[in-house]
Amino acid sequence: MNIANRIARLSLWNRIFAVVLLLLGIALAGGGGWLVALGGSWYYLLAGIGLIISAVLIFMKRSSGAGWFALVFVGTLIWTIYESGLDYWRWVPRFALMLILGIWFAFQLPNLAPRVSRGASRVLASVLILAFIVAAALPFAPLNETPATDVPAAGSANFMADTGSGKASTPDSGDWYTYGGSLASQRFVNASQITPDNVKDLKLAWQFRTGDLPKARWGGENTPIKVGDTLYTCTARNMVFALDASTGKEKWHFDPKVSDKSIPYTAACRGLTWYDSQTNSHITTGQDSAVAASPAGDNSDCQQRIILGTLDARIIELNAKTGEICRSFGNQGTVNLAEDMGETYDGYVAINSAPVVIRDTLVVAHQTIDGQRAFGPPGVIKAYDVRTGQLKWAWDPASPDTATPKKGPNAYKRGSPDVWTSFTGDDKLGLVYLPVGNASGDYWSGTRTPAENKYSVSLTALNIDTGLPAWSFQTAHKDVWDYDPGSQPTLVDYPDKNGGKTPAIIMPTKQGEIYVLDRRTGKSLFGVEERKVTGGGIEPDQRSPTQPYSLFHHLSKPDLTPQDMWGLTPIDQLVCRIQFQKASYRGQYTPPEADRHSIEYPGYNGGSDWGSVAVDPTRGIIIANYNDMPNYNILVPRAKADALGWKPRDEVPYNPHDEGHAEGAGDPQIGVPYAVNVNAGWRLPFTGMLCKEPPYGGIRAIDMRDGRTIWDRPLGTARRNGPFGLPTGLPINIGTPNNGGSVVTSSGLIFVAAATDDLIRAIDMQTGKQVWSTELPAGGQANPMIYTQNGREYLVIVAAGHHFMETPVGDYVLAYALPEKK
């Protein structure tokens, strides 16, 4: 053999390099062969074979081994360009490792290929190193952004909602009256002190710690309210604190003594409710005075009240000035929501969203914990006299034609649809707007009644006086994907061509659809199209042939392809591509199956969830932060689930150290033929990385006039994220999962936390660019709010973390403001 074709001596580095090629080749060839058998890409098999040949030839001291590696390297580059184009994140698993191996290879070339000079080797290594430096720098540049175009100016529109003349509809300047700011829930403040120019000067003005730090299932999700000179906040276990709005000093606190056993999926207290004689248009001071003067209670000065719903299903009214219980309400200040619901079990009936007052009626809904019992507690929504606590009506979606309260343990259908998220109403129209969830047993529909199939996964308007439906709009038909609406509806008034206004309601969904409806009738203002979707699954006769798609706007992305599968290396990407090929996936609304996994995209944490959207009515812009992640689901036959020991929570001894898990992971769904196992976000078990390429979350500005995208950008950096749960510390704007919404100001700022990087940030609405951020001491999975006190604007975020988002637990109420002028 020609000596020029032989390697004279293998160095230690040559041998290590060959071993690495051999191991990588075996992994790629083995997995690649499996992928080919499933009908997937041939690249991994061919590249694996090429690397094995290269390694063997190097061990045999044949210089042709270098040629084989060069062939795999160039082939990988061509394949990467073919599959990825200019999509940076697609290049990472396909070429990053190969580029590193190429640099290593270049330095060894004179030994592995004697015909190559050291000078040529160094040139090649320099070129590859430069390529690596450029590739490493690219993610710090803006990626996956849609630049701002034709941004409406402030004052160019008026989409303010007329919901009445009470303070809940038109709060005093500087106040934040309800969970969403007002009944319209626009999350907009007419505040101009903090601007895009001076926001960089924001500093922590005050900090308050509540002391409530759950050891498991944390996730306070709270947005405080502010009325007058006081800020009111509630904690994970429903402690209420009244704080001085200027200093954050405690005025009073109330502890309802909620047991950890009552924590459902998450220990959330999203908001409190304010009530006094000025809250609603149809309440008179005389009515309130009569109640206060009644002999029913000993604290006759409950003119201003804080209404609290607890995780153990109590409704409590407190004196807003002192924190004392208002004894004239209910039974010495308390109403038991779970009355006449039959067996409820610890943690199965929880009020985690703020009740709503419309006219003289307090409407209270609750979460019925998912995935445990298909015939668990009913989801009935109840309405009380806001002053006395007397039950006025009770509406059960399973019996929608009556709202007359019923008595007894079997008064309402077990497992009927609930309303777990925040809702709102229109005091002027006398309607309350409820995002109705699923009947229990999210991933099986065969046991639902016709009424449940009609009202499940819908936005339903109830007449506040009768409790009966005025209209209902369904956002998913016969849902088996846990697509129950999580977003609070937002109310706006649309200008019409004749100079009038059309009362409208904006409803975002987990699927990413954004519907705009006439809030008087439920009719779409922009049109809804019933599109054909895939059938089949475990209940083919139950699947709806069509699903509703909004013609206004949607946050969802195109259907997944094998090329969308991701990882940090070609090995974990290969695993994800194998999983993709094995699964059932025929686009959105692919039904779940029991003999193989199915892909749900968007997943149940996709699109818009409980953080909802914010609206700038003076510009006519919707701000929507959203998730873009799939779920990887499989139904588990009852016998197998029983053998695995999957039991509902009420049959498992209470464990105070149980940190919980992703919703749907090993859920028993007792009462239907199948349990379910949901891989939320579709993560690999070893690395914890997601199988879909980034970004995983974003924030978008939408023109309310026509639904066009004004700008869009990823939301969240990789500083607290990485493989194996290890934070990278890198400020790369990768776009992380996010929970929690935003607040917008008339000065043109958007404030949002939500992402898993533990930052709160300000975004310039005009450009979509970030103009300020600061680190939080815990996860910021909550909606921020803004108020004014003594002429100073404050930005407030509750940093309590979230177990599902894997952000650290906290008990912080943080207020930021510009430095005070001397």
Digit-coded pLDDT (tens) for 203-255: 999 999 999 999 989 999 999 999 999 999 999 999 999 999 999 999 999 99
Distances in Å between the Cα of 820 and the Cα atoms of 175, 222, 338 are: 20, 27, 49
Phi and psi at residue 540, in whole multiples of 5°?
A: -60, -35
> What is the per-residue pLDDT for 295?
46
State mean pLDDT over 168-185: 97
Distances in Å between the Cα of 352 and the Cα atoms of 220, 398, 725 are: 9, 22, 29
Dihedral of the alpha carbons of 368, 372, 376, 380, in degrees to the nearest 10: 20
| Alpha-carbon dihedral sign for residues 461, 511, 185, 393 | positive
Q: In the numeric block, which tokens belong to residue 25?
A: 């080749």
Dihedral of the alpha carbons of 149, 155, 161, 165, in degrees to the nearest 10: 160
Digit-coded pLDDT (tens) for 763-780: 999 999 999 999 999 999
What pairs with residue 230 in β-bridges?
227, 244
- Among 114-123, 191-200, 656-665, the minimum mean pLDDT is found in 656-665
Residues near 267 by Cβ (< 8 Å), separated by ≥ 6? 214, 217, 218, 219, 220, 236, 237, 311
- Return d(Cα 549, Cα 588) in angstroms, integer: 11
Query: Which amino acid is residue 535, in one-letter code?
Result: G
| Alpha-carbon dihedral sign for residues 6, 11, 13, 19 | positive
Digit-coded pLDDT (tens) for 414-444: 999 999 999 999 999 999 999 999 998 899 9
What percent of the chain stands above pLDDT 70?
97
CB contact at 8 A, 304 and 321: yes
Cis peptide before 695 (omega within 30 of 0): yes
- Return d(Cα 517, Cα 509) in angstroms, integer: 14
User: Is residue 482 flagged as an active site residue?
Assistant: yes
Residue 289 has pLDDT above 60, yes or no: no
Query: Which amino acid is residue 11, in one-letter code?
Result: S
What percent of the chain stands above pLDDT 90?
90
Specify the residue for token string 């939408």: 702
Give the chain's end-to-end CA distance (angstroms, integer): 88
Reduce the DSSP state of residue 14 to 3 states and report it. helix
Digit-coded pLDDT (tens) for 269-288: 999 999 999 999 986 545 55
Digit-coded pLDDT (tens) for 460-506: 999 999 999 999 999 999 999 999 999 999 999 999 888 899 999 99
Q: What angle do CA 343, 345, 346 make, to 5 degrees?
A: 155
Nearest to 778 by CA among 756, 751, 800, 755: 800
Digit-coded pLDDT (tens) for 570-585: 999 999 999 999 999 9
CB contact at 8 A, 509 and 459: no
> What is the per-residue pLDDT for 650?
92
> What is the per-residue pLDDT for 662?
84
Active-site position among 212, 482, 493, 758: 482
Is residue 656 very low, low, confident or very high in pLDDT (cuts 50, 70, 90)?
confident
Query: Which amino acid is residue 161, in one-letter code?
Result: A
**Judging by DSSP bridges, how do beta strands 203-209 and 613-616 pair with one another?**
unpaired
State mean pLDDT over 606-628: 97
Residue 550 has pLDDT above 70, yes or no: yes
- Which domains does the chain carry? 3-140 (no CATH), 188-280+301-557+602-817 (2.140.10.10)
Residue 659 has pLDDT above 60, yes or no: yes
Reduce the DSSP state of residue 51 to 3 states and report it. helix
State mean pLDDT over 107-118: 89
> What is the per-residue pLDDT for 7?
86
> What is the per-residue pLDDT for 726?
83
Q: What is the DSSP track for 368-386?
A: EPTTSBTT-S---EEEEET
Is residue 300 very low, low, confident or very high in pLDDT (cuts 50, 70, 90)?
low
Digit-coded pLDDT (tens) for 15-41: 999 999 999 999 999 999 999 999 999
Reduce the DSSP state of residue 394 to 3 states and report it. strand
Is residue 822 very low, low, confident or very high in pLDDT (cuts 50, 70, 90)?
low
Digit-coded pLDDT (tens) for 40-81: 999 999 999 999 999 999 999 999 999 999 999 999 999 999
State mean pLDDT over 80-108: 96
Residue 291 has pLDDT above 90, yes or no: no
Query: Which amino acid is residue 237, in one-letter code?
Result: R
Is residue 1 very low, low, confident or very high in pLDDT (cuts 50, 70, 90)?
very low
Is residue 298 very low, low, confident or very high in pLDDT (cuts 50, 70, 90)?
very low
- In total, the chain counts a number of residues equal to 822
> What is the per-residue pLDDT for 288?
56
Of residues 115 and 614, the one with the higher pLDDT is 614
Mean pLDDT of the chain: 95
